[in-house]
Amino acid sequence: MNPDNCIVVFSGGQDSTTCLFWAIKKFKNVIAVTFNYGQRHALEIEIAKNICKELNIEHNILDMSLLSQLNPNALTHHDIEVFQNESELPSTFVPARNLLFMSFAGAVAFNKKAKHLVTGVSEADFSGYPDCRDSFMKSMNLSLNLSMNEEFVIHTPLMWRNKSEVWKLSDELGVLDYVKKNTLTCYEGIKGNGCLKCPACELRNNGYEKYIKLKNSTTEK
């Protein structure tokens, strides 16, 4: 495995785009992998394509449409409402998504001789998704290594960062405005600031406002 090669799991959203820029700073050769799993908005894939083209990053799109045929959820079925109750998993939870994504990203890494894999999962702001936890990613790393007899390293630069801290990281990387304008996080498929109403937009925009307020107060001092 080449320690200069890195695979980034890339959706074109705020988190994965921040991770893409993070990886570009860390590794010489960065390759993005996007999964087409029948997600709510195909625009996601187009945005991922455009960002990779602008950054001159090799971009692989893998067909994972099988996911949309399994347990119904709001991310793959337009007729299911987006909602989140404290007592249960969000309607946007896609069972086995990160399990399959990381497995296939590992297969790409094996093919590309890439030692490193990067994903934007976070336990600080994980919306109740169990497959975004640090313990899962550590177990996934071990499983990939055992399954292919390699020594992959999975990086999760956002694992302990809330959305405000993710904005801070993008600012430190010099790409805050780029991420704000060019990514898609909104469940309604609206680029940039989004609809401002869905759970993803609330999380993203509340984090942005909190970071900007903190940044301005620090500057004033």
Domain range summary for the chain, segments of one domain joined by +: 2-162
Classify domain 2-162 at the CATH superfamily level.
Answer: HUPs (3.40.50.620)
Distances (CA, A) of 185 to 48, 67, 79, 95: 12, 20, 19, 19
The one-digit pLDDT tens for each residue of the chain (221 residues) are 899 899 999 999 999 999 999 999 999 999 999 998 776 667 889 999 999 999 999 999 998 877 666 655 444 544 444 444 555 555 555 667 888 899 999 999 999 999 999 999 998 865 567 888 999 999 999 999 999 999 999 999 999 999 999 999 999 999 999 999 999 988 788 899 889 888 888 889 999 999 999 888 876 65
Instruction: Decide: 102 and 153 in contact? Cβ < 8 Å.
Output: no
Residue 127: count other Cβ atoms within 10 Å of its Cβ: 14
Supply the pLDDT for residue 150: 95
Supply the pLDDT for residue 80: 42
